[in-house]
Amino acid sequence: MSSTTKSTGKYWLYFAVSLLLTIGFLIILPEWFWVMLPFLLTYFVQAMDWM
């Protein structure tokens, strides 16, 4: 069984951008912040290499 290392740098960048957008939604349109949650959580899971 071979082990390969996977680069997660771009996923951390996507996570950071989606985190900023989520915070922006919380400030500007708090009733719509949940729209960003799937992106935030998905990119966090991919950055942690859990998927």
Q: What is the CA radius of gyration of the chain?
A: 14
Where along the chain do its domains lie? 9-47
pLDDT at 20 over 70: yes
pLDDT at 9 over 60: yes
Which residue intervals of the chain are DSSP H helices?
9-28, 37-47
pLDDT (0 to 100) of residue 3:
60
Secondary structure (3-state) at 16: helix
What's the pTM?
0.81
pLDDT (0 to 100) of residue 7:
85
State how far the Cα of 43 lies from the Cα of 33, in Å rounded to an integer.
Answer: 16
Confidence class for position 4, pLDDT limits 50, 70, 90 = low
